[in-house]
Structure 1
Amino acid sequence: MIRLETHCHTKYSKDSLLLHSLLYMKCRLCHIDAIAICEHNNIQGALKFKEYCSKRNNKVFVIVGEEIMTKSGEIIGLYLNEEISAGLSCDETIDRIIEQGGVVYVPHPYDEKRAKTVLNEDCISSNSYRVDCIECYNGRNVEDSYSVKQTSIADKYGLVKVIGSDAHTLMEIGRNYMEVDFIPKDRSEFKSVTQSCTFHTKPCIKLAHKVTKCAKLIKMIVKGNFNEIYRVINRKIKK
């Protein structure tokens, strides 16, 4: 069986420091055959990792994806050829994914700890006929109840269920994946294999959330975004 891991981040996301060399090594060690790289609001990480793997005989198949922040929360597009801008409406973002022949994928449809990034359920409802799949489990769920709620949303709208790794760190790679019959190389094949895949999940590594926060802070310091650092600290103090 083929191991497919979706919704992964690398150093090209604002909250990850994961190097492509380490990601490749971990994929090989964990027998991950295909991986969807979905950086926040860019496809550069996916394209770079795809290039990296091509130089190593494509032993890891890379799906080019993007986790896009819309006006109503995050949507993932898979099998993209062009980057999709953040800040568009939910409908327009889905339009642009479909125009590229991509997979419309809803990540973490319920998460109390990341409520600002969760896609508004009204958007899921009104676009359910255009959504190809939705996460019923996310590797960063800190509570089991979130998965229960995510599954209920998927069932409510009759959507195909997938699990998302949402890995931002090396320690998270290879823990949450789907076993499928073959490597899906386009939207049609992805839809086919996810109809009858087997889920393999493990509990969230809560330390990974702390590592992510540190990565984000380090990147802000390196870029000299001290005003943003001040705003973050100020919000924490007011809480």
Structure 2
Amino acid sequence: MPGPAAQDRARLADAATAGAAGPGPSGAAPRAGPRAPAGAGHGVPLPGAGSAHGAVGQGPQTGQDHPPLPLTLRVDLHLHSYYSPDSKTSFADLVARCREVGLDRIALTDHNTAAGAFELRRLHPGLAIAGEEIKTREGEVIGLFLAEQIKPWLHPEETLDRIHGQGGLTYLAHPCDRFRASFTPERIIELAPGVDIIETYNPWARPADNQLAAELCQELRKVAATGSDAHSPPELGLSWMEIEEYEGPADFLDKLRQARHVVTELSGTQRRA
């Protein structure tokens, strides 16, 4: 009889395909598919995630309608600029939008390059965390607090090791999204020792896929993240997290575990890449 770990893996793998069309092949290029309803699919509440984790707001146009908690930073850890081939967002527009919606800290995570993130960090060190969304031979991995760019198309384990090797944090982006490059639940469990953060809400993922990511995050006891995956300025400020001030990557990860997650009803409706 299979042991408990094997039974858990089988159950999670079954959940990935229950009631939905079969997932695309692992590592497949992104392709068009239905988007999640606005604010839907954030998944199960996670212990210590804050009272607003998974809650849908009243659809504020700007962050000023949702004042942050005292002594907190409003953060977004997954977004793109014109350094990504599918975005035209300039740094000027990005910074202006952050000021408009009250974002205090952002991780610029362009596709397979950290050049833009390093430049934005140089220009606005109080705003930018250097990141990169890296295509592996399977799904996509975000590196946060990077000092050097990570090349794409490595095995996921090597990508995770290279991020940690330079003192960064590892973040699985839209990990169960069957319409984009993603990982199977089985692979996420195998990769778990090298994973710091799992994105449990992405506005362009199906609700069921966000739900599965949230369940995996909870069962693996990883830190959850809400990512806007913004490719244009109007997408910023529609979902975010609020955390306490931090000192360095390790403290950031600890504070993120206690984050307040906010998803407004406009999230997933503004894409203009």
Aligned counterparts of 1:207 and 1:164: Cα–Cα separation in 2: 14
For residue 99 of structure 1, report the CA deviation from its aligned partner.
0.5
Compute the TM-score of the two structures, normalised by the length of structure 2. Answer: 0.70
Show the counterpart of 1:134: 198
Aligned to 2:34: none
Structure 1 Cα separation of the partners of residues 202 and 73 of structure 2: 20
**SS in structure 1 at match of 2:152:** coil
Contact 1:72 1:123 in 2 (8 A): no
Give distance in 2, aligned partners of 1:9 and 1:16. Answer: 6
- In structure 2, what is the equivalent of residue 113 of structure 1? 179
Does residue 16 of the first structure (1) align with residue 80 of the second (2)?
Answer: no
Q: Quick check: 1:174 aligned with 2:237?
A: yes
After superposition, the CA RMSD in angstroms is: 1.6
Aligned to 2:151: 85
- The CA deviation at 1:72 is 1.2
Could you state the TM-score of these two structures normalised by the residue count of structure 1? 0.79
Q: What is the count of residue pairs matched by the alignment?
A: 201
What residue number does 1:155 align with?
Answer: 218
Query: Structure 2 CA distance, aligned partners of 1:119 and 1:103?
Result: 18
Q: C-alpha separation between the residues in 1 aligned to 2:78 and 2:247?
A: 16
Q: Which has the higher contact order (CA 8 A, sep 6+)?
A: 2
- Tell me the SS of whatever aligns to 2:217: helix
Structure 1, unaligned runs of 5 or more: 213-239
Percent identity at matched positions? Answer: 31
1:75 partnered with 2:138: no
Larger helix fraction of residues: 1
Structure 1 counterpart of 2:100: 29
Q: Give the aligned partner of residue 236 of structure 1.
A: none
Q: Work out whether residues 68 and 86 of structure 1, in 8 Å CA contact, stay in contact via their aligned partners in 2.
A: yes
Answer whether contact 2:161 2:194 (CA < 8 A) is retained.
no
Paired residue type of 1:155? Q
1:168 aligned counterpart, secondary structure: coil
Cα deviation per residue 1:99-132 (whole Å; 9 max; x = unaligned)? 0011011111122322xx1134333212212211
How many Å apart are 1:159 and its aligned residue? 1.5
Q: Structure 1 pair 91/191, CA: closer, same or farther in 2 (3 Å)?
A: same
Contact 2:117 2:129 in 1 (8 A): yes
- The aligned runs of 1:178-217 (5 Å cut-off) are 178-182=241-245, 184-203=246-265, 204-206=267-269, 208=271, 211-212=272-273
User: Is the 2:176–2:184 Cα contact (8 Å) retained in structure 1?
Assistant: no
Matching residue's letter, 2:263: T
Contact 2:140/2:175 (CA < 8 Å) preserved in 1? no
2:132 counterpart of 1:98 = no
- Residue 207 of structure 1: CA displacement? 5.1
- Structure 2 unaligned regions, length at least 5: 1-71
Paired residue secondary structure (2:179): helix
